[in-house]
């Protein structure tokens, strides 16, 4: 019998769900700039974005890494991320986007709750690492609103 053992990834930011910032956002105990929500997934702006529109897509159920999700949940997470990416790219008039999904401290995972970064990229930033940016609360709210509106028109055109 083969025994492929799954090692546990080190995560210095491991916390119980009640102390997890993303679980607190899911439970509306912490503020965020939400852009999308369904029964199992939620998306909101990253508060230290690499670009305007940088969004995080998370399962509502707490799990530290992608290994804590089953394959269907992982597929669904990326289905939602793909949908969100279209509204993000439209909202900020980007020319491309990145999905970044970090697992474990060694991979620079900062919050130990599974999330996919959706990072829009403009052609002028091609090949450049732009660093964290800062936007005012009203800029963040306006970006989130534009993405939300884009998502609702996307879901209308899906029908």
Torsion angle of alpha carbons 20, 112, 122, 125, nearest 10°?
Answer: 120
Residue placing its CB nearer to Zn ion in the complex, 54 or 62: 62
| Distance from C-alpha of 11 to C-alpha of 125, rounded to nearest angstrom | 31
* CA 88 to chain CA mean position, Å: 11
Residue placing its CB nearer to Zn ion in the complex, 60 or 86: 60
**CB 128: neighbour CB atoms within 10 A?**
9
Structure tokens belonging to residue 13: 């930011």
Q: Is 113 an active-site residue?
A: no
Mark the segment that binds Zn ion (CB under 5 A) among 57-65, 84-92, 97-105, 148-156. Answer: 57-65
Among 11, 22, 44, 144, binds Zn ion (CB under 5 A): 22
- Dump strand ranges (E) for 60-115: 96-100
**Residue 83, interface with Zn ion (CB under 5 A)?**
no
Among 20, 119, 147, 151, binds Zn ion (CB under 5 A): 20
**Residue 113, interface with Zn ion (CB under 5 A)?**
yes
**Residue 115, interface with Zn ion (CB under 5 A)?**
no
């Amino acid at each position: 019998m083969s025994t492929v053992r799954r090692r546990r990834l080190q995560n210095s930011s491991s916390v119980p769900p009640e102390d997890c910032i993303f679980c607190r956002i899911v439970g509306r105990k912490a503020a965020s700039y939400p852009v999308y929500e369904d029964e199992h997934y939620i998306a909101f702006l990253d508060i230290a974005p690499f670009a305007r529109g940088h969004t995080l897509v998370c399962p509502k159920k707490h799990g530290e890494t992608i290994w804590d999700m089953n394959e269907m949940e992982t597929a669904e997470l990326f289905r939602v991320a793909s949908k969100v990416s279209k509204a993000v790219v439209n909202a900020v008039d980007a020319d491309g986007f990145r999905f970044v999904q970090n697992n474990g401290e060694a991979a620079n995972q900062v919050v130990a709750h599974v999330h996919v970064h959706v990072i829009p990229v403009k052609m002028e930033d091609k090949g450049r690492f732009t660093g964290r940016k800062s936007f005012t609360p009203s800029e963040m709210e306006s970006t989130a609103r534009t993405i939300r509106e884009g998502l609702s028109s996307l879901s209308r055109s899906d029908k």
